[in-house]
Amino acid sequence: MADREPRNAGAEPLLRAQGVQKIYRSGEVEVRALAGLDLEVRRGEFVAVMGPSGSGKTTLLNCLSGLDEIDAGRVLVQGRDLFAMSDAVRTAHRARTMGFVFQSFNLIPVFTAAENVELPLLLCGAASETARTRALEMLDRVGLASRVGHRPNELSGGEQQRVTLARALVGHPAIVWADEPTGNLDSGMAEQVMALFLELNREQGQTVVLVTHDPAVGRAAQRLVGMRDGRLVSDEVRVDGRWVARPAAPELLEAARRP
């Protein structure tokens, strides 16, 4: 389902945001939620975004994924400028290249787990049998093979979040965006969901950008980006268990990715 790789995929970051500004206006009041933000994410990175309340983390996720409009700057995903596309093309591009996991799960209550996971494939034109097979495989992968016929209200919070993980990943998106994915879970469930995220990143090279308040979740990532006042103020990667400033060179990032 993912877009075909561009020829220079190795050289071009998967995501490149340059000078992104987002201003919320209500009446006379303006809030500059993103103040000229730059960020690049390479294929296979697991990035946690942390920062104080109001620093712009959710706005970053909404704008860099193209869910929300920006006021200035540009965002390239697989080399394509999200905001140079029409709304319809951007929506289709997002459906093919991105998966989403939110704190509030956002599952369709009248659908079973399997139907919820099938939906993004069906919306992208997959045949119903293919969609069902892949949904069941993905639910098995997240440990829910015995719950495929359950509706969200028949599942625990951790199970519901595993369904959303399966739904986000079933189309093999280039990038998964997660906003406080463990925010509604107790600490045991949060650990399980995070462990699953990390496994999928390691096994499948799934690129993940995850917003969190929780320092334990942030520290589990491979790269930790700090935000304040709508800008990035720190950018570190974990190398041999230590956090060091993120090197720009791809070969050094390769070394940082090794467990």
Nearer to ligand ATP, 82 or 200 (CB): 82
Nearest distance in Å: CB 68, ligand ATP: 9
- Give the full edge-to-edge strand order of the sheet including 72-77: 29-41, 15-26, 72-77, 80-81
Shortest distance (Å) from residue 65 CB to ligand ATP: 13
The token duo for 221 is 């990532």
Q: Which is nearer to ligand ATP, 51 or 99 (CB)?
A: 51
Token couple for 243:
């956090």
Nearest partner of 176 among 35, 41, 23, judged by Cα: 41
CB of 22 or CB of 257, closer to ligand ATP: 22
Least distance (Å) between residue 10 CB and ligand ATP: 32
Q: Which residues, other chains included, contact 117 with Cβ-Cβ below 8 Å and sequence gap of 6+?
A: 135, 138, 139, 163, 166, 167, 170
Among 203, 162, 170, 164, smallest CA distance to 95 is for 170
Cβ proximity to ligand ATP, 44 vs 226, nearer residue? 226
Residue 154 near residue 82 (C-beta atoms within 8 A): no
Report in angstroms how near the CB of residue 180 gets to ligand ATP at its nearest.
Answer: 7
59 versus 161: smaller Cβ distance to ligand ATP: 59
- Nearest residue to 190 via CA among 161, 210, 163: 161
CB atoms within 10 A of CB 121: 23
Which CB sits closer to ligand ATP, 33 or 168?
Answer: 33
53 vs 146 by CB, closer to ligand ATP: 53
> Closest approach of Cβ 44 to ligand ATP, in Å?
25
What tokens appear for 40 in the block?
A: 């690049």
Compute the least distance from the CB of residue 18 to ligand ATP, in Å: 19
Binding site for ligand ATP (CB under 6 A): 24, 26, 31, 33, 51, 53-59, 213
Other beta carbons less than 10 A from residue 58's beta carbon:
17
- Phi, psi (rounded to 5 degrees) for 148: -65, -25
Residues in a beta bridge with 25? 30
Minimum distance of ligand ATP from residue 145's CB (angstroms): 34
